[in-house]
Chains A and B, each alone.
Chain A
Amino acid sequence: MFDIFQRLGASTLGILERLGRGATFLINILISLPTVLVRPRLLITQMFSIGVLSFSLIVISGLFVGMVLALQGFYTLSDFGAEGMLGVMVAASLVRELGPVVTGLLFAGRAGSALTAEIGLMKATEQLSGMEMMAVDPVARIITPRFLAGLISMPLLATLFTSVGVLGGYFIGVGLLGIDEGGYWSQMQSKIDFHQDIMNGLIKSVVFGWVVTWIAVFEGYDAIPTSEGVSRATTRTVVHSAFAILLLDFILTALMFGDV
């Protein structure tokens, strides 16, 4: 019986210790931000591998999500004779929720896992240790550019996802299902609010980018330096990021749209 309490206590302490290490790690990243800002090349390289290389995944996913939304929305709205609202429905769903959330999940799977594996392997092959011994701070040189690149890339990718999704909805709604083209765009224009919808969606994507990249770089840096350790860290990045995104989405939605 006491054994259960002991294990529960030990695992709780373990989680708190990891959270503490993660927070300290984040502070170190933030402290070394100026070093990255004076060496933009490090940031640009990482934005390419984190952001640009995620481009095709985001575009294709956004297109199909938009198309499916339009199909499903059309069948539901047509029951009420409200097919004209299809553009609003597609855009609101994408801007407020699906854009940031699905992009966040895809970002965690594509870029987050790659970040953890890369940093974990650098640790396992003593590259980070080697840098320390060359008097180069691995947090400033390796971690911070990746963190900042993730933070900048995520809202851009979410915006791309949403834009392509709206276009996907247009292809299906207007092109296939015969909705009025002017209605599709004008309803969207009049109902989607810049601050309430677009800015809040953007804030969500910044928050998700922050959290996913933080989890990814921390898991890599904290990984046990073996092949199994790196593999587990990579899995943890995807799982923890998914949980964090969904939980934070609920909290942010309640805060942003709770009084609507």
Chain B
Amino acid sequence: MTDTASLIKIRDVHFSRGSKLIFDGINMDIHRGKVTAIMGPSGTGKTTLLKLIGGQLVPSAGSIEVDGQNIHQLKHKQLYQLRKRMGMLFQSGALLTDITVFDNVAFPLREHTNLSESMIRHLVLMKLQAVGLRGARDLMPAELSGGMARRVALARAIALDPMMIMYDEPFTGQDPISLGVLVQLIKQLNDALGLSSIVVSHDVKETCLIADYVYLVSGGKVVEHGSPEQLTNSDSQWSQQFMKGMADGPVPFHYEAKDYVEDLLGLQS
């Protein structure tokens, strides 16, 4: 792929939380029209990366370009203009709990457009139809299951017809039916609406079903990248361990601790 095909360019990004280093110079290219997966062990900073791309966090070094604009050099107004073209699906759905499903999906339209209520109604029903929840328009978020909440959040994320959507752990905690629906929805919406999608996940099987390109992140670095087939067939220990879910490999199963026997016997190291 040529460089102009990159919607997002992440270059040498460093980021720390307090004394903990999260990213130690990562580089990525997110291509237009593709589903790009960012996978890695829990706690490796995948959600943080989405917040960096969205400009909610600022890296200590490096740059992130979204559609040709360095997101961390934008002024408040410019950043908000750009965000209108970026959708994000949070792990929790992040629906506004005091308004109905309909009003949640209508929220960005009412905030950012001067469309009439009848036009908003049409658009909201179309978006809800796309995620199969037109009939749930009058429900409150508390009345939805986890899978339904994520689908409503997805309808809200596409309300303004964005150029890209970031999915934060979309498959976590879903029953098999919801999981299947979500996997298909992400792919269908990406292709039908001509979006670019970034899926952050550690659900290897589901993510590989829809991803065009995968980045494996661990220890603050991109350790592998390629198509799902390339990673599955890779000889790299990282790929082997993560793609096949093995306990032994470069990513330790145990959190750093002193010697087990010494710990049990209460010996001072």
Contacts and interface: CB of A to CB of B under 8 A. Distances in A.
Contact of A134 (B81, B83, B92, B97): B83
Interface in A111-129: 125-127, 129
Contact of A132 (B83, B97, B111, B160): B83
A136 B88 CA distance: 13
Interface residue range, chain B: 20 to 34
A1 interface: no
Interface in A159-216: none
Interface in B82-107: 83-84, 86-88, 90-92, 94-97, 107
B108 A136 contact: yes
A4 interface: no
Contact of B86 (A130, A133, A141): A133
Of the candidates B80, B91, B153, the one having the most CB atoms from chain A within 10 angstroms of its own CB is B80
A126 B169 CA distance: 14
Contact of B90 (A126, A135, A136): A126
A137 interface: yes
B122 interface: no
A125 to B, nearest CB: 6
A251 B77 CA distance: 41
Interface in B149-186: 153, 156, 160
B259 to A, nearest CB: 31
Nearest to B112: A135
B80 A135 contact: yes
Interface string B241-261: 000000000000000000000
B54 interface: yes
A126 B54 contact: no
A127 B81 CA distance: 19
A134 B87 CA distance: 7
A135 B80 CA distance: 5
A132 B50 CA distance: 13
A134 B56 contact: no
Given A125-B92, A130-B88, A135 B83 contact: yes
Given A134-B107, A134-B108, A135-B112, A129 B90 contact: yes
A52 to B, nearest CB: 16
Contacts of A134: 83-84, 107-108, 111, 156, 160
B69 to A, nearest CB: 14
A137 B83 CA distance: 11
A126 B92 contact: yes
A45 B173 CA distance: 35
Contacts of B51: 129
Interface string A136-157: 1100010000000000000000
A134 B106 CA distance: 12
Contacts of A135: 80-81, 83-84, 108, 111-112
B90 A130 contact: yes
Nearest to B108: A134
A127 B87 CA distance: 14
Contacts of B81: 135
Contact of B56 (A127, A132, A137, A141): A132
Interface of A: 125-127, 129-130, 132-137, 141
Given A130-B153, A137-B80, 11 more contacts: A125-B94, A125-B97, A130-B88, A130-B90, A130-B95, A133-B87, A134-B83, A134-B107, A134-B160, A135-B112, A136-B111
List 6 tightest A-B contacts by C-beta distance, closest first. A130-B94, A135-B83, A126-B94, A133-B88, A135-B80, A135-B84
